Amino acid sequence: GPRVGVLALQGDVREHVDVLEHLGARVTRVRRPEDLAAVDGLVLPGGESTVIDKLSRTFGLREPIVAAIRDGMPVLGTCAGLIMMADRLADGIDGQQTFGGLDVTVRRNAFGSQRESFETELIVPALGEPPVAATFIRAPLVEEVGSARALAFLPGGSIVAVEQDGLLGLSFHPEMNGEDRFHRRFLDRVRV
Ligand code: GLN
């Protein structure tokens, strides 16, 4: 199978590793630049984007990841991972940086404290049937898409999944619901 990495600085690393291994991928937990050099695609897990940002700089991973995305490496990001892929943040805290790559504006914690987490079924035309069981946890929303394409919306019209070339960003956590179709789509990009 393809060699892929899961950025393993903070967040729900194990859940992504399990889905990918189940699909036959060889998975490396990426903690150092050498780990990144050995993979052909990268998953950015959910967690806390400010922490992932800081740790990526501490571990010398920020610049190699930015360069790999610029060079076309396929990336799947969920929740905090989507935040890390955004070119623009509507409300990043002071000094917060993203890796960028997705031509979108993302708002962190977009649902406020009244609705910190919820589950819903999403119709995702790009995946077909059945609908996606999606878990949202302090989730971000995509407020503006430039050249990226919206793949899924909440009933009110908010964008919760986007794609741009080999980059796939999700507001929610398919890895927590046994949903593997986004990971399959990511692995298909890695194999090309
Ligand atoms: N609110 C988190 C952040 O800003 C993301 C939450 C998540 O990944 N489940 O990074």
> Is 138 annotated among the ligand-binding residues?
yes
Residue 168 pLDDT: 98
Separation of CA 13 and ligand 1 centre (Å): 14
Q: With a 6 A CB cut-off, is 47 part of the ligand 1 pocket?
A: yes
Under 8 Å between Cβ of 85 and 147 = no
Q: What is the pLDDT of residues 111-153, one digit of tens each?
A: 887 678 999 999 999 999 999 999 999 999 999 999 999 999 9
Q: Please state, in angstroms and rounded to a whole number, the distance separating the CA atoms of residues 182 and 169.
A: 10
> Is 26 annotated among the ligand-binding residues?
no
Q: With a 6 A CB cut-off, is 80 part of the ligand 1 pocket?
A: yes
Please provide the average confidence, as pLDDT, over all residues in the chain.
Answer: 96
User: Which residues make Cβ contacts (< 8 Å) with residue 87, sequence separation at least 6?
Assistant: 98, 100, 101, 102, 103, 104, 105, 146
Domain hosting 23: range is 3-191
Helices (H), 71-172: 80-85
ipTM of the shown complex:
0.95
Separation of CA 151 and ligand 1 centre (Å): 20
Q: What average pLDDT does this structure show over 96-122?
A: 92
Q: What is the pLDDT of residues 150-167, one digit of tens each?
A: 999 999 999 999 999 999
Residue 1 pLDDT: 80
Q: What is the percent of the chain with per-residue pLDDT over 90, rounded to a whole number?
A: 92
**pTM of this prediction?**
0.96
Domain count, the chain: 1
Q: What is the pLDDT of residues 17-52, one digit of tens each?
A: 999 999 999 999 999 999 999 999 999 999 999 999
Q: Is pLDDT above 70 for 3?
A: yes
Atom of ligand 1 nearest to the CA of 52: 10
Separation of CA 171 and ligand 1 centre (Å): 9
Atom of ligand 1 nearest to the CA of 46: 8
Assign residue 36 the CATH number of its domain.
3.40.50.880
Residue 111 pLDDT: 87
Q: What average pLDDT does this structure show over 57-84?
A: 98
Atom of ligand 1 nearest to the CA of 50: 10
